[in-house]
Structure 1
């Protein structure tokens, strides 16, 4: 596992169920809100600090998710895009990064197309069983509750041994 982690130059994430616990809160005015874990945010910052490209692709548009990505310094985020594989392939081509140098973190079947092509597919522990079966690694922490930090710590630890 460590050898695969050392190769990672880009990591992609879904939002709902990965950055969050998958719940969407809608108030009486129809406004949506989500909860994001601060440790996961620090994990994203840590990845960016060591030069790992972070790509976020979500099938849903969300002002809360957009605000969080801006706050974390994530420049490559695509919200409201169901064709995740298409965007992922375009971005790695732009960055001239190989699929074997990529990871993706997902929780549901909409993430399967990307998980099937990356060198290091990751499922969160609260993800769908079929996604966990196609993952090389399943987190101990659940989405929205430290899974991203767990992953970032693993990558950083592996790269520190280079």
Structure 2
């Protein structure tokens, strides 16, 4: 086997989905960039300069289901994003890094807190400032509207935009692959 690795994974000569399936087997946690992934990336301010948080209900429902089934979740913002704290805390026990923490430091703290390894983490991020974080994760993902530079540097490109179902798709993909998504067509037919 070649010593070449793509984001720490051996490239397969077979269908690339076999590499994704192998990664999906190990996933126990989601690490999600707030801006551009959990949100559309648009920052809306009221007349007094306060941020007005907006999140897609389907993404939040997916996160609640992931948490209910024992997945660990971290949300990381590379800026002060405390306006989202109350809404995300109401979703469930999510590790929130919303005070502009350095992304890799937040990721390492999250892994340490839950005893996780890189290959047990799926990371969903959308821009070049997330590149080092994506390189570490076992399953690096970007939304379809993620930065062009990331497209050849992730294992999977979501068919949904950030803030419009990307998170839900990855939650379903992981849980369905692991046989834990009870709303699966595979389970309904089999």
Normalized against structure 1, the TM-score is what? 0.93
What pairs up with 1:2-151 in 2 under 5 angstroms? 2-151=21-170
SS at match of 2:149: helix
Kindly name which structure, 1 or 2, has the bigger radius of gyration based on alpha carbons. 2
Deviations 1:97-123 (A, max 9, x none): 111111111011121111011110010
Larger RCO: 1 or 2 (CA < 8 Å, sep 6+): 1
The answer to which of 151-160 and 129-138 deviates more is: 129-138
Q: Are the counterparts in 2 of residues 9 and 53 from structure 1 also a CA contact under 8 Å?
A: yes
Unaligned segments of structure 2, at least 5 residues: 1-19, 181-190
The number of residue pairs the alignment matches comes to 161
Normalized against structure 2, the TM-score is what? 0.80
Q: Are the counterparts in 2 of residues 84 and 114 from structure 1 also a CA contact under 8 Å?
A: yes
Task: Note the aligned Cα RMSD (angstroms).
Answer: 1.4
Q: Are the counterparts in 2 of residues 82 and 110 from structure 1 also a CA contact under 8 Å?
A: no
The answer to which of 93-102 and 137-146 deviates more is: 93-102
Deviant stretches of 4+, over 6 Å: none
Unaligned segments of structure 1, at least 5 residues: none
How far is 1:133 from its partner? Answer: 2.2
Q: For 1:91 and 1:78, how far apart are their aligned partners in 2?
A: 9
* Higher strand content, 1 or 2: 1
How far is 1:61 from its partner? Answer: 1.7
Q: Are the counterparts in 2 of residues 11 and 103 from structure 1 also a CA contact under 8 Å?
A: yes
Deviations 1:25-81 (A, max 9, x none): 112211111321100001101111111100111112223311221111133101132
Q: Are the counterparts in 2 of residues 106 and 131 from structure 1 also a CA contact under 8 Å?
A: no
